[in-house]
Chains A and B, each alone.
Chain A
Amino acid sequence: MFEKSLLKNVGKNKSHVIDSYISSGGYDALKKVLKEYTPEELIQLVKDSSLRGRGGAGFPTGLKWSFVPKDPTLPKYLCCNADEGEPGTFKDREIIEKDPHQLIEGMAIASYAIGVRNAFIYIRGEFVLGANRLEEAISEAYKKGFLGKKILGSDFSLDLSVHRGAGAYICGEETALIESLEGDRGQPRFKPPFPAIKGLYMSPTVVNNVETLSCIPHIVLKGASWFKEIGPEKSPGPKIYCLSGHVKKPGVYELPMGVTLRYLIEEHGEGTNSGKKIKAVIPGGVSAPMFPESGLDIDMDFDSLAAAGSMLGSGGVIVMDETTCIVKVATRIIEFFHHESCGKCTPCREGLEWVSKILIRLESGDGRKGDVELLEDLCNNIFGKTFCPLGDGAVMSLRGALKHFKEEFLYHVDKGGCMVA
């Protein structure tokens, strides 16, 4: 039987308050780490657990930490990426609002492992409640001695602060997040150097997702092998899936990595709310290419989804029943990316504007002959040439729609209207 870890406190009375957290074993992991682990041993533990980043790219967390130079004279930073902006994704918010201490404890442990003295939580600007909860939780943690100077009597000190974003999706990209945190325009930076070498204030920096960091206390308490035994070998662990769209029971679900999409939707979401057939599903936030119904037997983990031409991304699953116009979906998605394009690089800035103009006219029935081919060509011209993955993500999702539902696009051109409506 799978037992919830990340969301185990959610639903309890005042789960966000420190006493509630402590009463269910909170901060024990931090105590254990400060007593029993050297930073190197801790990094090894996380490596052994095979934890992969939950922010979207699935990069091995222990490995990322080990890239940080050991030089004790360099300042090092930890930034928690709480900018959760991917449409269809609302898992980090759940942790932040309902169990903020889990994140704080995870950050304290990570900071100890990496040698960080100052850590930051970069939170999406719209998360007002979340930001307030975090501020409160942080001050509680200071009072109890889990943050601040000489934590729990050890030599380890850590200051943690919350920084609220100003409403740009791109600031969830780690280098744009760093730029924004420094007070500059939120646009991605060129890599290399990677943040682990030169990040915030040109110093070694680790950027990790909320969910990633929240896994850490559990790994410490229950061990790397516990973690590894959940789900597939190469991407193990508990995972929070966000279910939305045409489902009966939308919401966040903590399940093992690698459950099938169908299981998630049918067992936990209890199928479509309309009772109609599923037409398509986006498995990992809008950047992830959609699957038609026939693709639902896919395992929800990094490698399986990548092999199937999509991605786990943030784990935001969006279900669409058969009344959905895919052209409209594609248009909305591209409009989102066009709106959120930071404007730095030519293909994303100009390409998405062009693509969105074509889609808008297509959707409203004013498509022209050759538009679908032009769309495909423009996708090729954008893909692989953008500065950061935002532009690629946009194109990938459009390509997914075109791949499985091209006839709907052609229908819009030919008939000047929609196939489903």
Chain B
Amino acid sequence: MAIVTIDNREVEVKDAISILDAARSIGIDIPTFCFQARLSGLASCRLCLVEIEGQRKLQPSCVTPVMDGMVIKTNTPAVVESRRAMLEFILANHPLDCPVCDKAGECELQDMVFTFGPREGRFSDKKRRFHEKDYRLNSVVVKNANRCVQCQRCVRMCEEIVGAVALGAIGRGAWTEETGFVKSLEGCDHCGNCIEVCPVGSLMNYPYRYKSRPWDLAETDTICPYCGTGCHITVGLRDGNLMRVRSKKDTGINRETLCVKGRFGIDFITDEHRIKRPMVRKNNTLVPVSWRETWNCLQEKLSALIGSKKPVGGLASPRYTNEVLYTFQKLMRTVFKTNSIDSSVKFNVSDGKSPDLYEVLGDIISQRYSRVSLSDALDTDAVLILGGNITDENPVTDYTLRYTLSKKNLKLFIASIRPTRLDTDAGAVFRHLPGEESFILAGVLNGIIGSNKTDVLDKTFNNFETFKNAVKGSGNGGLTGLGGFIKDLVSGINTSKRISLFIGGELLRSSGASTSVQMLHNLINILDILKKVVNIQFLFDLPNQLGAWDMGVMPNMLPGYRRLDDSDGKGLFEKDWGVSLPSDAGDNFVRMMERSAKGEMGGLYILGEDPVLTYPDVNVVKDALSKLDLLIVQDAFLTETAKMADIVLPGSTFAENDGTFTNNEGRLQRVRGFHTPAFDSKKDIEILSHVASLTECKRVPSSSTDAFEEILRLIEPYKGINLQEIGGDGTMTHNSKAESLKKLYVPKISTPERTKALRLVTGNNLFHSGHLSERSRTLKALLDRPFVEINREDAADFNVEDGEDVLVCTRDSDIKVKVRTGRSFPRGVAFIPDNFKDVRLNRLFKRGEYPVCVEIKKV
């Protein structure tokens, strides 16, 4: 600690913090331009100069560390005059075209000059002009170099946080220009974070430029609907029309950053395929009808369905709020008396031989998932990222890691299918194929057991010997590089007290998912016993996957992970809901499809999912859906699945719903509607409660507030939370019983088989997320051509070249896409993003065959 005196006030502060931080901690503000929290100090604008007793010159407070006994003055005549002088210098060549500048009204230069002055300018020469016109760096960033104040916040943001290094300064001296250099912009993420940190109107948001003025905007704080990172966004509308999305410097896990999807991608809310009116199938065609007619028709069909006693299932997208999802599962359980409720098509695509994913997942999620903030999870010694592509799927989590790595010595290990941008920061990296995760984990466990005293483990787990023998043979399975990776990782773990595991959603989608989760479970258990502090967090690419599970959108557990065979738990809900609940575990979506194909299922209620496009094996899903007696689809968009429905209910997007999301950290955040539902569409919760009211069953919540009250009452991690008190940073949900299960799974771990054949994998890419992002005009414009990415040498083997149209063929199907070749892309893998509707990627997949073998052919 150091004691310093600032403006005659003595204050005790941490050693070596900057004078600026020290001053701000006691409410003394010093104006700054080039300073930006989290970016490296530049000390170039000289606005923050202060006087330090005993020093001849004024010193930049943003980078000068405090020293014990320092006496600092922030408001002497010399300081005040210096500020005025710096602003005069900046204004000298500044174009002052405020009347046409997007930034006017929220411009740091305007505000600063207003406060610190000069009141008039003495510069009377011709001003410097870089270019007569604004020019576009790309389709979202537009630059006016004349307005630049050379703070380099954009450059540092792009390099230090985003990691793209797409911007640099060209030229020298007064003619320095922050812009792209050589081919740097080819690596631009289009995240717009450079725009966000630009204090003036030099970098502008192209889709927003000239469309509004800040004071004409109605702004709403809400949460990004794309991924599980759960960034805080501020949406600006003018006359009800979406204008822009911004992030706030001091709010949310993302602070001032967003990824391209969050900043530019929410214009999907006005997609032309939004369903405007309810639709009912008549003579085999869907026709728009009135709500009244819909309800009448639905009532008839529902009573027939319920009367038939055939099983009914539900599938809901984790893009909905907790309140909607809670209400959905309540509807399914109380009205349809079913536990067959699933939340993603992409999970549980396993061969059916290994145990059900939810069986093993439930334990981890309910008992061991760390509901701690990302920053707490990163207050650790070692990080393992396994089974996902953090850069593409959770960009802002990737930024946070990069930032953390620049601040402290963290050991980072990455095992992923495709390259990530954090690879260069990692101590060890391994490229694997889907399904190999459990094998990697077995190797790690074998390494840990081999290098630690195991008597405690032996004492704790009664099947330890068996387990030990089961992982013993694992080795490296002949995979080049795995041995070294495991060795580094094991030694990283052994030398760390605290370890954080970040598990990507890809791990849950691969065919060996349940085995992988079991091995993950084992790893956590063993590390717990070895007295390591272990954090585990999933990296979901959907905004409310954790919330969906918390809400009970699972076939084998009630809300709050109450097991169906836990009579207390079941009793709780039966009492509260006033009905008796089915006690048999329900089916996951794969099972539902199987049974439906056999004609066993009566009906299916699909909320916002589009299995016709996403289920591996399009023929199976189409056949299964067509055999249902009643297919209800509630969605905001007319999806391929909706087109097969008997009844289509026009619901809403996050933009029209109020409620909450629970992000990957377990942070509960408020989603606030800012958009009026399109035409006849309704809020989802209203539709669900109306559906319930058509039956003789008890009511389900009819508003978000009602639903949240029930959630608070019944779901353990949410108890005690006060919705009104949730601020911009949300609030953490808590784990009811964070303890480790004293058992080890001994699954059969198959040794990876890597053949020469190219394996096709899929997943998100930076610009897209599932099928939602393609409905954003901006994102679609950024990337609308489907492609397959392969290694350069593989391309040479198939005799194809970068940019060429090729056929990607399986045994019985093929699709035509452009080929992209990369040097760092792993050999033997082909990647096609899963978002492009038109290619119908699921034609190439078969259940249980992931990754699938493909060949690349010239067209």
Contacts and interface: CB of A to CB of B under 8 A. Distances in A.
Given A343-B150, A374-B122, A381-B85, A190 B172 contact: no
A185 B150 CA distance: 14
Contacts of B174: 338, 341, 343, 349-350, 352-353
Given A349-B174, A350-B92, A350-B93, A190 B85 contact: no
Contacts of B93: 350, 353
A190 B41 contact: yes
A340 to B, nearest CB: 7
Interface in B31-64: 41-47, 49, 56-58, 60, 63
Nearest to A353: B174
Interface stretch (A246-254, A278-286, A383-391): A383-391
Contacts of B128: 353
A345 interface: yes
A345 B150 CA distance: 8
Nearest to B151: A346
Interface in B150-174: 150, 168-169, 171-174
A354 B46 contact: no
A347 B82 CA distance: 10
A302 to B, nearest CB: 18
A185 B169 contact: yes
Contacts of B171: 343
A412 B83 CA distance: 31
A357 B81 CA distance: 23
A202 to B, nearest CB: 12
Contacts of B58: 384-385
Interface in B119-143: 122-123, 125, 128
A163 interface: no
A351 interface: yes
A268 interface: no
Contact of A387 (B44, B88, B175): B44
Interface string A45-86: 000000000000000000000000000000000000000000
Contact of A354 (B43, B89, B168): B89
B82 A346 contact: no
B176 interface: yes
Interface in A113-160: none
B90 interface: yes
A354 to B, nearest CB: 6
B44 A381 contact: no
A6 interface: no
A330 interface: no
Interface string A382-411: 001111000000000000000000000000
A339 interface: yes
A342 interface: yes
Contact of A384 (B41, B56, B125): B56
Given A339-B173, A343-B173, A381 B89 contact: yes
Contacts of A185: 168-169
A350 B90 contact: yes
B86 interface: yes
Contact of A345 (B46, B85, B92): B46
A354 B123 contact: yes
Interface in A324-362: 338-347, 349-354, 357, 361
Nearest to A368: B124
A345 B93 CA distance: 14
A349 B173 contact: yes
Given A345-B46, A385-B46, A387-B43, A357 B173 contact: no
A385 B82 contact: yes
A7 interface: no
Contacts of B90: 346, 350
A351 B89 contact: yes
Contacts of B150: 343-344, 346, 349
Q: Give the size category of B's interface with A.
A: 35 or more
A168 interface: yes
Interface in B490-540: none
A357 B58 CA distance: 27
Interface in B87-105: 88-90, 92-93
Contacts of A347: 46, 85-86, 89
B421 to A, nearest CB: 20
Contacts of A168: 172
Nearest to B84: A381
A342 B65 CA distance: 25
B852 to A, nearest CB: 44
A291 B174 CA distance: 30
Given A343-B150, A346-B44, A381 B88 contact: yes
Contact of A343 (B81, B82, B125, B176): B176
A190 B46 contact: no
B46 A343 contact: no
Nearest to B65: A192
Interface in B167-213: 168-169, 171-176
Contacts of B41: 190
Given A185-B169, A343-B176, A350-B89, A386 B125 contact: no
A342 B172 contact: yes
A185 B174 CA distance: 15
Nearest to B175: A343
Contacts of B172: 168, 341-343
A346 B173 contact: no
A340 B174 CA distance: 10
A381 B84 CA distance: 9
For A185, A352, A361, which residue has the most chain B Cβ atoms within 10 angstroms? A185
A385 B45 contact: no
Nearest to B49: A385
For B46, B49, B149, which residue has the most chain A Cβ atoms within 10 angstroms? B46
B793 to A, nearest CB: 29
Given A338-B174, A341-B173, A346 B86 contact: yes
B125 A338 contact: no
Interface string B430-466: 0000000000000000000000000000000000000
Interface in B322-351: none
Contacts of A341: 172-174
Interface in A306-327: none
A350 B92 CA distance: 7
A297 B257 CA distance: 62
Contacts of A351: 89
Contacts of B123: 354
A387 B58 CA distance: 11
A347 B174 CA distance: 11
A338 B173 contact: yes
Nearest to B63: A190
A351 B85 CA distance: 9
A386 B89 CA distance: 12
Contacts of A350: 89-90, 92-93, 174
B157 to A, nearest CB: 16
Contact of B173 (A340, A361, A387): A340
A354 B173 contact: no
For B41, B44, B92, B169, which residue has the most chain A Cβ atoms within 10 angstroms? B44
B297 to A, nearest CB: 69
A346 B45 CA distance: 5
Interface string A354-384: 1001000100000000000010000001001
> Which 8 residue pairs are nearest across A and B when measured between Cβ atoms?
A381-B85, A350-B89, A343-B176, A343-B173, A341-B173, A384-B57, A353-B174, A344-B44
Given A342-B172, A344-B44, A346-B86, 18 more contacts: A185-B169, A190-B41, A190-B63, A338-B173, A339-B173, A343-B150, A343-B172, A345-B44, A346-B89, A346-B149, A347-B86, A349-B150, A350-B90, A350-B93, A353-B128, A357-B125, A385-B46, A386-B46
14 contacts: A341-B172, A342-B173, A345-B43, A346-B149, A349-B150, A350-B89, A350-B92, A353-B92, A353-B128, A354-B92, A357-B125, A374-B122, A381-B81, A387-B46
Interface of B: 41-47, 49, 56-58, 60, 63, 65, 81-82, 85-86, 88-90, 92-93, 122-123, 125, 128, 149-150, 168-169, 171-176
